[in-house]
Structure 1
Amino acid sequence: MHRPLTALLAAAVLTLAGCGSPARHYEIPPQPVPSGETPLSGRTSAIGEVTYTVIGLRTELGEVIGSHGSWIPHGQYVRVRLLMVNNGRERHDFEPGRQLLVTTDGRTYAPSTDAMQISRAVTGTQTIASHELCAFDLWFDVPKKAAVRALRVYGDPSSSRLGDQLKNAPVAGARNPVDILLK
């Protein structure tokens, strides 16, 4: 008679202790924030099977400096640090050059080719593998007095489901692009 009660108590203790169930999230060590950058949290949106999180923002940069040169903006450089996570079973593509910075006046700006090259930021189509994490910076040259509002992300809304792939259908309900607020 005590055996079922003992088994029940043992199961409860193991459940409360977390034994027998896998962790649901990675515990990623804190990363140092580059000088002058503002770390952001809670700025996540999804396009299809990929989540996009803006994790850092720096405005009013007066110069970009790389190992092989430096460049002064026409206005100010804005650097946005973006983390992407592919939650699907297939690879997804991402094109850094398609992303847009939206200012409070509604104008949009493409990444600065000069700043991206000098900072050795990623260029060209990037492929994100299944369940891969990928973070990098996007550099924009905007007017000196411009205030940033959002990063407009263009992603890959395609689905890993075979039925969707055969029909070339996106993930149900996928929006593309999405605006991730920066302020």
Structure 2
Amino acid sequence: MRPFAITPGGITGRHRRGARIPALLAALALAAAACGHPARDYHIPPQALPEHEKALSGKTAPIGEVTYTAIGLRSKIPEVIGSHASWIPHGQFVRVRLLMVNHGRERHDFNPGRQLLITADGATHAPSIDAMQVSRAPVGVQTIASQEMRAFDLWFDVPANARVKALRVFGDPSSSRLGDQLKGAAVAGAKNPVDIPLT
């Protein structure tokens, strides 16, 4: 599945067979409330959740000038099916839908392959390359444009009895300020990575 971008021009993207883009309204409202005024916020129509996915309450964490919000979660997925292949996990697939908003004046990078799922036993799990490929999820470093919103799925293969706890997000803490860029300095006080609770 390709990522979709929400920009002032609208929403673009492609749906997975039998699924629609999950509910973004609550998460966008929370993200916008942190940095705007209701009269100046976007009004995004509700989006239907993919089958069996749970909408999350919109817990947001910043890394530098980009905010990250886990907006959807599905665990115990027995198989990923794409247009060209299907794949069965070693344990269970877990899919987390992540919304990113770049509040800065510069582009920021995001690498889906660096993100980690934390399970209740404290173990960390890297994304499943197989599931990411079959589902047509983004691979390689992604560029988030200035003022852009983007959401897409991260797929993980974890033990069958594992319970998810959090998503550990590794982002781009760089600053748009010219002085910081000349020094190669990050946004003051930026933490990287950050953990976003999924429970």
Question: Into which bin does the TM-score normalised by the smaller protein fall?
Answer: 0.7 to 0.9
Alignment counterpart, residue 183 of structure 2, candidates 162, 167, 171: 167
Relative to 1, partners in 2 of residues 1:24 and 1:108: Cα closer, same or farther, differing over 3 Å? Answer: same
- Equivalent residue for 2:170? 154
Relative to 1, partners in 2 of residues 1:29 and 1:22: Cα closer, same or farther, differing over 3 Å? Answer: closer
Q: Which amino acid aligns with 1:176?
A: N
**Structure 2 CA distance for aligned equivalents of residues 129 and 66 of structure 1:** 28
Which range is displaced more, 140-149 or 23-32? Answer: 23-32
Q: Deviation digits for residues 123-156 of structure 1, max 9, x if unmatched?
A: 0000000000000000000000000000000000
- Equivalent residue for 2:84? 68
Answering whether residue 73 of structure 2 is matched by residue 57 of structure 1, we say: yes
Q: Which amino acid aligns with 1:26?
A: Y
Q: Secondary structure at the match of 2:181?
A: helix
TM-score (norm. length: structure 2): 0.80
Q: Deviation digits for residues 53-75 of structure 1, max 9, x if unmatched?
A: 00000000000000001000000
**Structure 2 CA distance for aligned equivalents of residues 60 and 24 of structure 1:** 40
**Structure 2 CA distance for aligned equivalents of residues 72 and 42 of structure 1:** 29
**Structure 1 CA distance for aligned equivalents of residues 198 and 38 of structure 2:** 33
Shift of 1:25: 1.5
Consecutive aligned runs of 4 or more in structure 1 exceeding 6 Å deviation:
none
Answering whether residue 34 of structure 2 is matched by residue 23 of structure 1, we say: no
- Equivalent residue for 2:158? 142
Q: Secondary structure at the match of 1:35?
A: coil
How many residue pairs get aligned? The number is 163
Aligned-residue RMSD, C-alpha: 1.1
**Structure 2 CA distance for aligned equivalents of residues 40 and 92 of structure 1:** 25
Give the % identical residues. Answer: 74
**Structure 1 CA distance for aligned equivalents of residues 58 and 87 of structure 2:** 32
Q: Secondary structure at the match of 2:182?
A: helix
Which range is displaced more, 106-115 or 24-33? Answer: 24-33
TM-score (norm. length: structure 1): 0.87
Q: Deviation digits for residues 75-116 of structure 1, max 9, x if unmatched?
A: 000000000000000000000000000001100000000000
- Show structure 1 runs of 5+ residues with no match: 1-20
- Equivalent residue for 1:45? 61
- Equivalent residue for 1:126? 142
Q: Which amino acid aligns with 2:157?
A: D
Shift of 1:22: 8.2
